Amino acid sequence: MGSRVTILDVASEAGVSRQTVTRAMNDMADISEATRKRVLEAAERLGYRPSRFARNLVNRQKTHALGLVVASFRNPYYTDIAADMLSGAAKRGWQVMIAAPDGELEDVLGVLSAQVDVLVGHFGGPEADLREAGRGLPVVNLELVSTLPGVHSVHVDLESGIVEAVGALRERGARRFGMVDSAYTQRFSRAYEPSPRREWFERAAGSQLTGVVVGEETISGGGQAFAELLRRHPDTDAVLMFNDLMALGAVQNAHALGIDVPGRVRIVGVDGLSLGEAVDPQLTTISLDRQGIASNTLDIAEILAKADFAPIAPIHRSVRTQMLWRGSA
190 binds, among a second copy, DNA, none (CB under 5 to 8 A by kind): none
| Half-sphere exposure in the Cβ direction for 114 (13 Å, CA) | 6
Cα 282 from Cα 329, distance rounded (Å): 9
Contact 214, 180 (CB under 8 A): yes
Helix axes 18-25, 7-14, angle to 10 degrees: 100
User: Which residues, in sequence order, are bridge partners of residue 154?
Assistant: 317
SS3 content of the chain, % helix, strand, coil (to 5): 45, 20, 35
For a second copy, the closer CB: 51 or 318:
51
Contact 116, 136 (CB under 8 A): no
Q: Of 29-37, 158-166, 201-209, 250-258, which part binds a second copy (CB under 8 A)?
A: 250-258
- Applying CB under 7 A, the site for DNA has a residue count of 31
Contact characters 26-55, DNA, x per CB under 7 A: x---xxx-xxx-----------xxxx--xx
Which letter does DSSP use for residue 198 in this model?
Answer: H
Comparing CA positions, the residue from 110, 116, 111, 119 lying closest to residue 70 is 119
Is 189 an interacting residue with respect to DNA (CB under 7 A)? no
Q: How far is the CB of 199 from a second copy (least distance, A)?
A: 29
Comparing CA positions, the residue from 48, 39, 44, 85 lying closest to residue 66 is 85
Is 93 an interacting residue with respect to DNA (CB under 7 A)? no
Q: Of 16-24, 65-73, 128-136, 147-155, which part binds DNA (CB under 7 A)?
A: 16-24
Q: Of 1-9, 125-133, 177-185, 299-307, which part binds DNA (CB under 7 A)?
A: 1-9
Q: Residues in the site for DNA, rule: CB under 7 A?
A: 3-4, 6-8, 15-22, 25-26, 30-32, 34-36, 48-51, 54-55, 57-60
Q: Residues in the site for a second copy, rule: CB under 8 A?
A: 1-5, 43-44, 47-49, 51-57, 60-61, 63, 65, 73-74, 76, 79-80, 82-83, 86-87, 90-91, 95-100, 102-103, 107-108, 111, 114-116, 135-137, 219-220, 248-249, 252, 255-256, 274-275, 277-280, 306-311
